[in-house]
Amino acid sequence: MSAYRELERRFARIAKLRDAAGVLHWDQSVMMPLGGVAARAEQLATLQGIIHELLTAADMPALLADAAAPELDDWQAANLALMRRAHGHAAAVPGDLVEAFSRAVTGCEAVWRTARQNADFAMLLPSFAEVLRLVREIAAAKGAALGLTPYDALLDQHDPGRRSEEVDRLFATLEAFLPDLLQRVMERQRRRPPPLGLTGRFGEAAQRTLGEQLMRALGFDFHHGRLDSSQHPFTGGVPEDVRITTRYAEDDFTTGLMAVLHETGHALYERGLPAAWRYQPVGNHAGMTAHESQSLIVEMQACRGRAFVDFLAPLAQRTFGGEGPAWRAENLYRLYTKVEPGYIRVDADEVTYPAHVILRYQLEKAMIFGDLQAPDLPGAWNEGMVRLLAIRPPNDREGCLQDIHWPDGGFGYFPTYTLGAMSAAQLFEAAERAAPELEGSIGRGDFGPLTGWLRANVHAQGARLDSRALIARATGRPLDPAVFRRHLERRYLAE
């Protein structure tokens, strides 16, 4: 066991360095002045370089080979397999490329913040083109070393074991039924009187108060986390100190609230990971499809249902001083579940959301394989929006500049959003079978039955299983698009 114990020691050190990088990245997105970008780029590049050196140490292959032993239990064996996987990804890429990529994405993200505000893709283009060049180089190196296509090598970073062939099949099923479903839902909406709009200004302080109240109801522990604002909502920090962010719109409080609920789902997953395996690969999450399933089971499955709106309505009325029929639960629910094609992914309804992800998936594959060049991204984006949702963004802020992922180097991530939405529907259905009182408890603001089931069946499993095996184990079946379709039809055509 000595080789295995040495690997545990080394990977614990790597995990703590990654934690430090995560907090630095949160600070960059939330607190850091623009003048700190160059210094932060060097700090993060140095940390990534040290992590890479530790993962690719000369004796690491021998340790990984010697660590296999009959004394390893199931968790230790899974941990060793994940160590080998991490080493394989790291060893495929030279250290100088790792550091160059880290510097490039730190700088590009900073430029993106200004370019997005100004709707100026030309401002972003030089730094984005460099990030894309480096991503292609990394993808090619990993693909060659791991026996994968370049895109699958990137996808594997975010969703271990997932391949684009499976994603293509699942997304083709969605593309086959979603356009007709969208038309049926919108026709149903047209036949009914429109919901009453909520007028007035919703101050950021009041929105934050409501968000924190709902976070507490969900089980968020403010002794181990915090809520802040950023240009793009995200979850960062570490399991003991989870940092979530949102962005507020003073003319629509649901925008910021939905982001808060989404990120709280991520935070609950991080807090629920197995503490006994903290700082080991097997104690991490099971990939980003699993992670997005946890944010979306909160935001979409639990918190867009009618039971939740019955709980939300009086809280919103008190927070914002709302009066009259527009603030009643029935009207809020209709506003909450309105389906309409829009430009912004994070604000999209459940029915149109997959189209946003499918577009990004198609575009990022084309960029990685060289079929789409960086300067041509805005035009390809706009044409894709016309094709998939019959709308054309009026500017690049509402088009290809809206997301942080590509400037931040996150290629291969986008498919996990819709895979996560499908997984969330399947997990929620399984949770309802296990706890028939689930809807009633949510209507009372009691999320214990849901979070308890998720703790046992998802969070506590760590990375012992990949997302595909995790969903199959928790629900009794592989990921099935029919479950997602059934959920959408029940919510948007039957209610």
- The catalytic residue positions are 263
**Rounded to the nearest 10 degrees, how much is the dihedral formed by the CA atoms of 178, 182, 185, 190?**
-170
According to DSSP, residue 446 is labeled -
Written as one letter, the residue type at 242 is: V
Opening angle at CA 220, ends 414 and 321, nearest 5: 95
Hey, which residues does 228 pair with through a beta bridge? 245
Q: Is 311 in contact with 332 (CB distance < 8 Å)? A: no
Residue 263: which H helix or E strand, with range? Answer: helix 253-272
- Within 31-71, where are the H helices? 37-55, 60-66
Please report, for residues 39, 83, 299, the alpha-carbon distance to residue 261 in angstroms, rounded to integers and kept in the order given. 33, 33, 5
Please report, for residues 67, 262, 298, 430, 451, the alpha-carbon distance to residue 463 in angstroms, rounded to integers and kept in the order given. 19, 21, 21, 20, 18
Quote the CA–CA distance of 116 and 188 in Å, as a whole number. 36
Give the count of beta carbons closer than 10 Å to the beta carbon of residue 79. 25
Opening angle at CA 178, ends 172 and 184, nearest 5: 160
According to DSSP, residue 459 is labeled G
Q: Is 115 in contact with 123 (CB distance < 8 Å)? A: yes
Question: Which residue bears the tokens 């408890």?
Answer: 441
Three-state DSSP state, 464: coil
For 236, phi then psi, to 5°, come to -140, -160
Q: Is 48 in contact with 100 (CB distance < 8 Å)? A: no
Quote the CA–CA distance of 80 and 89 in Å, as a whole number. 14
Sign of CA dihedral 327, 331, 337, 338: negative
Question: Which residue bears the tokens 């939905």?
Answer: 258
Which tokens go with 338? 């309105």
For 227, phi then psi, to 5°, come to -120, 130
